[in-house]
Amino acid sequence: MAASRRRRSRRTAIAAAVAAVGLTVGLTTGCDAVTKALDCVQTADAIADSVTDLQQAVESASNDPTQLQESLDSIDKNLDEIGDKTDNTDVNKAVNDLGDAVGNVRTAVKNGDETPDLSPVTDAAGELTKVCTP
């Protein structure tokens, strides 16, 4: 009878340990996912601010052409940051699309376009914000 109790007690202890490990792993993974989502949202918000700055820089490019480059550089920096923090396919696609749109604006400006079409940039930034929203 005492041996039977010890086995039950040992089984209960093992089951409790397994459950605790499972719960810990689940909570750690869950928190990691939440942290990644928050990082994504914060970076997407920073990119949205950079896109607004880019729009303003295009409007005032004749006054200060360096603002345009600074805005494009800021978006690129934020894209690198968000791309490094995620393995989400949708986020990576949105990051790539926005990077391509920024590259097209750079090329247009380099080729002398003083008022490049920013709609692909704003569309891609909107998509990034959408996929980053949990």
H/E stretch holding 48 reads helix 2-59
Residue 36: predicted pLDDT: 64
Interatomic CA distance for residues 49 and 42, integer angstroms: 11
Write out 100-120 in H/E/C secondary structure.
Answer: HHHHHHHHHHHCCCCCCCCHH
Residue 60: predicted pLDDT: 80
Length of the chain: 134
Residue 68: predicted pLDDT: 83
Residue 30: predicted pLDDT: 47
Residue 77: predicted pLDDT: 86
Structure tokens given for 26:
């689940």
Enumerate residues 6+ apart whose C-beta is below 8 A from 18: none
Closest by CA position to 76, among listed 131, 124, 36, 39: 124
Tens-binned pLDDT, residue by residue, of the chain (134 aa): 555 444 445 444 443 444 444 444 444 444 566 766 677 777 777 788 888 888 888 888 767 778 888 888 888 888 888 777 777 788 889 889 999 999 999 999 889 888 889 999 999 988 888 887 76
Closest by CA position to 109, among listed 53, 74, 50, 61: 61
Residue 33: predicted pLDDT: 66
Q: Please name each of the domains of the chain with its CATH number.
A: 31-132 (1.20.1440)
Interatomic CA distance for residues 78 and 55, integer angstroms: 17
pTM (2 decimals)? Answer: 0.68
Residue 31: predicted pLDDT: 58
Interatomic CA distance for residues 46 and 44, integer angstroms: 5
Residue 123: predicted pLDDT: 92
Interatomic CA distance for residues 70 and 15, integer angstroms: 58
